[in-house]
Amino acid sequence: MKKIEGFSNRRELVRRLESVGDRSNSNDLVRIILDDQEKVLLVYPASVRKFSRGGVFMAGKFNDRNALFILGGESLRVMQEYDGNVIHRQSDFVVMKCRWSRSVAKKIREDFPYCAPTNEQSGQISIAFGDVLGLAGKAQLLAFKGKANLAFSRQCIHQLRRLDMHPEDARDAVTWTIFSEGYEGGFAAEACHLTTPEDLKVMLDAGYTRFSIEPFIEPLYSIREKPKIELLEAVLEIPWIELHDKFELMFYRYKGNRIDLGPIYFSDDGEQPESRVIIPNETEVLAAIRMLGEIIIQVDEMERVLVMEDRRDDVVLEVSFARTKGSLTPFELFFLITELLRRDIQPDFIAPGEEITQEHWLVARQTRITGLSGPVDKLTDVPDETSGLRFHGVVEDISYLTALECIAVKEPGLFRNIWAQSRNVLEKVKEEFNLNLSIQKFPPEKEYADGDLPKLLQLKHADLFIKYTMSEVFAKKDEQGRRFLRLAVYDFIRKHESDYTDALVKRYQDSLGAT
């Protein structure tokens, strides 16, 4: 670890810190030895910022905890605006330390606007990262900065509730990453798997800027298999008054009508693409109405929240079918978007499901929505940039699994405790989530030597085992009422930040084939 000592004034200290940052791409912590030799600051050199109203701001660590340091005159007004304590006095400045907290994170977003999420998207591709732990931001920057617009903090509100985490906790963690890494490229904060207007309002109030609405109707696609007579009966179950429509009118808007989808380029090789035509039959129209009628009502309710809050133009709205097994057909996608637009509901993105075909992109172009969303491995199937369409790729959450990989190597005792607790709660989560995971497939950790513990995480379906037991493991409390395993994982990541970041970067790069 580089160190700086023997500086005579603030200007010299800042100059030497900036010099270290200019020579390093890794932004590793720098040790600053204060002149009394008793206090040591650990500072990220890329975070050094001269504030317009006076003072120099730096992010780092103090006693192994994240902290904000402000260097300036003790009477400087900004010193009164932040919740902190003066920990050192030198010739021409004092050092104030602020514990990283929700109030400090909020103030940083106000004073340094690039640390606040926005809805702006400059390029054709954006990427969102699942990150339930909220500590993967540095790895995401290292792996993807400059390759796409970034949407950090992709948080499922239901998972946050299970973990007893406030939505602002994850957003504040991203604020820390953005500030400490000196990143000024802009980013979004994404709330996913929203199912009710109340969910959306909670995440809107927490400052998120991208919302993935996921109406959940199960089993969605089995409706297509019903005979026509059953579909006719089923469409009568739709609350048509709430839909502000009549069945006959909706049915004949589509049945047998020709839908021409113009061509679109998927590469710049000069090959002329073909136009496509969709002519839905009666069964296809009936199935689409039954599948999507109530979903249209749900989306309308959700967008109404944004309109009432006067925030619709400030956010990105997506309708997602990502968690359903299957995908909308091109006609069903056309039906959904067209009916939403008829009601003056303007989704920005649609995630049609597991598969995204060229026909889905043609529908997106025809209906003039912003673009489609899907797994990040679909990046190779995105239309040419001249199409004007955008793609939002999603990287699945690997933060907890990667943390356990590091823990298995560095702290086998902690890993054994987590693995044992995960086995203890497996039967409970199996029933809750209807999982087909046998405990016999995940042997006790005591059968493995310390050096062989990482092999447990290589077992088939170990990722699912870890993913679905995490919430119960994190909920475990000790005699003092502390969630001791959750705290232990967070403490481990902070202690071994470099190892954790390196491991995450490699896994992220593998997810894109090191593109």
Q: Where are the domains of the chain?
A: 3-100, 113-212, 214-395, 399-511
Q: Compute and round to an integer the Cα radius of gyration of the chain.
A: 26
Any bridge partners for residue 351, and if so which?
320
Question: 36: pLDDT confidence band, cut at 50, 70 and 90?
Answer: low
In 10 A of CB 200, how many CB atoms? 25
pLDDT value at position 39?
77
- Out of 81-90, 379-388, 396-405, pick the least confident: 379-388
On whether the CB atoms of residues 65 and 84 are closer than 8 A, the answer is no
3-state DSSP: the chain helix, strand, coil percent, rounded to 5?
50, 20, 35
Averaged pLDDT, 54-79: 92
SS3 151: strand
Closest CA to 183 of 149, 211, 213, 215: 149
The whole-angstrom separation of Cα 89 and Cα 34 is 9
On whether the CB atoms of residues 39 and 63 are closer than 8 A, the answer is no
State phi, psi for 227 to the nearest 5 degrees. -65, 165
State phi, psi for 236 to the nearest 5 degrees. -70, -15
CA 44 centroid distance within chain: 24
The whole-angstrom separation of Cα 304 and Cα 346 is 11
Q: How many CA atoms lie within 13 A of 443 on its CB side?
A: 12
The whole-angstrom separation of Cα 384 and Cα 124 is 9
Question: What percentage of residues in the chain have a pLDDT greater than 70?
Answer: 97
pLDDT value at position 515?
43
Which tokens hold the place of 321? 């079918």
Q: What is the pTM of this model?
A: 0.89
- Out of 226-240, 375-389, 448-462, pick the least confident: 375-389
Question: What percentage of residues in the chain have a pLDDT greater than 90?
Answer: 63
